[in-house]
Amino acid sequence: MSHRHQYVREAAAVLTACSLIVVLLPGLAAAHNGSDTPPEHERADSRTSGSISTAVGNSLPDMPMNASPENSLAFEVSQKPAIASKQLSDMESLDNWEPWVGPSAFGTISLSTDKFYKGRASVLLTSPTKGEEPNFPSTRGRPWGSASAIYKVDNEDWTEWNRITLWVYPDLPGFRTVSFNLVLHNDSPIDPTVDDKKYVGAFVPYDSANGYHYYNIYSGLNYQLLENHKWNKVYWEIPHVRRDKVIALELRYRLQGNQREMTDTVTYYFDELYLEKVEQPEHYEGWYVAPGQIAHNHLGYVTGFPKTALSADPSAKTFQVIDLDAKKVALEKPITSRTTPQGTFHVLDFSEFDRPGTYALRALDIQTRPFHIGEFNDLYRNNLIKLINFFYCQRCGTEIPGRHSACHADWLCTHGDKSIVINGGWHDAGDLSQSTIHTSGAVHVFFSLAEIFQDTDTALSERLLEEARWGLDWLLKTRFGEAYRVNWATMDFWTDGILGTNDDRSPVTPDETHAPTYNHVTVNFHAARAEAKAAVLLSKKDPIMATYALTCAEEDWGFAVKSIQDLDTVTAGIALNASLALHEATRNDKYRSAAISYGDYILRCQQGDDVSNGVPLKGFFYGNASRETIPLLRSISTPEKYAVTGLVGLLQA
C-alpha cells in the first residue's frame, strides 16, 4: 500500500471512530420528534434510497453540514413498533416521583399544568445551570452536580421489557444543543461470573440519606440529545441493562453551565412514561450479525480491493448486488459459510465486481442502504469532508453557526506566575475538554492529508490545511516553554467568558491536568511530531510560522529526550515518530540516528517468533524490553499504534 493510501485510510479510520462516538456513545438511545409512525413513503426511503453524496466534483460544502436524521440510529430505533407496552406514569400526579437528595443535588420537581403532551399535567424539573460555589477546586472541570426527577419502583422485574419511552419538552432559552440522562437503578447482588457476560454492569441501591450511588454507570446511564422548545419522543432500548430488581428510573440534568446568551435556569417537562417490548432490539454484543441485517462497509468499496459483507440468515443461499442507478440486478452469487473461533458467518463476497456506481446488497427480503463502489480517492473524499466537518464543529473559542458562540474565554492555565487562556483547538469528542495528545495527532494527520492532495485536489488540500492550522495554533499558544505545557484539561460545562466569576476553570497548572512527569515526555514528543510536520507544509505558504513551528518542535523534542527515565514501548513509538518528523523537516542526522535507536528498541519489545508454549502467536508488543508484561488496556496509548506507524515510517525514510 502506498504512503498516500496509508494516510487516507488512517483518516478514514479516524472518521469511523468519530462516527461511532456521535452515533453510538449514547448507547442504544434514540430521540425522535413528532409522530410515532411517519408516513409509509418516508419509512421506505429511509432503508432503500437517499443521497449519500457530500460533494460534487472538486467543490466543498458549506460547514457546518447538517446530518440527515433518517440516516441515524435514533431514527432506526424510533421506527420499531412496540409489540407490548405498560404505562409506568401518566404524570398526572407526583405519585412515586421525588427529587434527588444528597451531595451535589440541585433543582426541584413539581406538577405542571401549563405544558403537557397528554392529559392535563406533566412532571416539571427545574434547575440552575451552575452552583453558587466556584467550580475550581470543588469539581475540577466537571458539572457542579445534577438535578433529577426520580420515579420510584418497588423491586420490579423488568426483564421481559426491553425499551423505555417517554415524551420530553426541554425549555432552555439560548441553548443550541440540549441533552439529558436516563439512569436505571437495579438492586440485585452482583455476580461477576454472570453479570460480566450478560450485562455491562449493575448498580448499588438507592440510599435515601445520601442519594443515589452507583458504579460502572455505563450499563444504566443513557445520554439523549433533544430538540429545544418542542416535544421529543425519547426511546431507550435496555436489553444490555440488568433490570431484574428495579428500584428507580432517574431523569437527570447535569449542571453544565451556560454562555452569556443562554438561560441560567433550565426546565424539562416529562410526560407519558412507558415500558415497552420490541421484537428485535439493537444488537449490542458479540461478532454475529443481528437478525434482519446485512453488515457491510458503509464507507463503500474500492475498485480492485476485496468486497465482502456478512448476513445473519442461514436460510439465505444467494445474494444480489443491486445497481440503484440502472434499477437492476448487477450480480448474483451464492452465499458461503465460514467458521472461525468467533462463530459461523455467512459471507457475501463480490470482490470481482469493480464497476463504479451506487449499489445495495440484497439477500431474501433484506436490503442494505446505498453504498458506492469507486476509485480510492473518489470514494474516500466524501468521508474526509465529513471528517473535516466533525472537527470544525468541535472547534473551541470561536462561533460555530447553529452550535455555539465563541466559548471558554475565561479558561486559564497557570504555571508559576504565567497564565494562558487556553480556549481554541477542538473540544474533546465526549465533552468540552482539551488534550494535547489528541490535538497533536489530529494536526499531524490533517497536515499529512493536505500534503497528499496538494497537487490533485487543491480545494480539499487547502481546507485540510486550514483545519490543521487551527489545531496548530492551540498547540503553540499553550506552551509555557522549558517542557511545560497543557496536557489534558478537563472542561465539562459552558462558561460566561468573564474572568472572575464562579464558572472559571482556573487556576489549572500543567501538573493539575492529571499528567505526571512520564506523560509530559510523550506529550512533548506528540507535539514535536505535529509541529515538525507543520513546518514542512507551511515552509512556502507561511515561512514565519513554519520557522516558529520548527523551533518549537526541536525544543519540545529536546525537552522530551532529556526527561526520559524508563523507556517503554509507547514512549519509544511516539519518540520514533517525532524523530522521523524532525528529520524530514531538518535533514539533521541526529534525528535519523535517534529514530533508528528507538526503532531498534521497539523491535526488542516485539514478539518475533511464536510464543514459547507453541501457540502460533507473534507480532505483538510487550510493554518494554524486559518482555514481562503485555499492555492490553492503554486507551489511546496502545503500543501497536505508534510502534507500527513508526517502523513503517522508518522503512520509508
Domain map of the chain by residue range? 82-278, 286-376
Q: What is the pLDDT of residue 193?
A: 52
For the chain, how far is it from start to end, CA to CA, in angstroms? 16
* Contact of 119 with 89, CB cutoff 8 Å: no
Label residue 611 exposed, middle or buried (CB < 10 Å: 0-12, 13-18, 19+).
exposed
Bond from prior residue into 281 cis (ω within 30 degrees of 0): no
* Contact of 295 with 361, CB cutoff 8 Å: no
Q: What is the pLDDT of residue 429?
A: 76
- Burial per residue of 26-48, b for 16 or more beta-carbon CB atoms within 10 angstroms, e otherwise: bbbbbbbeeeeebeeeeeeebbe
Q: What is the pLDDT of residue 137?
A: 61
Q: What is the pLDDT of residue 36?
A: 39
**How many Å apart are CA 369 and CA 75, to the nearest integer?**
14
Q: What is the pLDDT of residue 139?
A: 72
Q: What is the pLDDT of residues 450-502, one digit of tens each?
A: 999 999 999 999 999 999 999 999 999 999 988 899 888 889 999 999 999 98
Bond from prior residue into 64 cis (ω within 30 degrees of 0): yes
How far is residue 88 from each of residues 109, 212, 451, measured CA to CA in Å? 18, 21, 58
**How many Å apart are CA 52 and CA 324, to the nearest integer?**
12
* Contact of 513 with 489, CB cutoff 8 Å: yes
**CB within 8 A of 467, min separation 6: which ones?**
388, 391, 392, 446
| Single-letter amino acid code for the residue at 402 | G
Q: What is the pLDDT of residues 156-208, one digit of tens each?
A: 999 999 999 999 999 999 999 999 999 999 887 655 555 444 444 334 444 43
How far is residue 49 from each of residues 71, 228, 361, measured CA to CA in Å? 10, 29, 12
Strand partners, 506: none
**Helix 3-24 × helix 436-453 angle, to 10°:** 130
**How many Å apart are CA 419 and CA 427, to the nearest integer?**
20
Residues in the chain: 653
In 587-638, where does DSSP find H-type helix?
A: 589-605
The full 3-state SS of 112-164, as one line of letters, equals ECCCCCCCCCEEEEEEECCCCCCHHHHCCCCCCCEEEEEEEEEEECCCCCCEE
Q: What is the pLDDT of residue 518?
A: 36
**Helix 458-477 × helix 543-563 angle, to 10°:** 50
Q: What is the pLDDT of residue 611?
A: 84
Q: What are the residue ranges in the chain where pLDDT is below 50?
A: 1-56, 195-218, 511, 513-519
Topology of the domain covering 286-376: Immunoglobulin-like (2.60.40)
Domain 82-278 has CATH 3.40.50.2300: no
What global pTM score does this model have?
Answer: 0.86
C-alpha cell at 426: 477542538
Query: Phi-psi region for residue 301, left (φ > 0), alpha (ψ -120 to 50) or beta?
Result: beta
Q: What is the pLDDT of residue 180?
A: 96
Phi and psi torsions of 606, nearest 5°: -95, 140
* Contact of 496 with 463, CB cutoff 8 Å: no
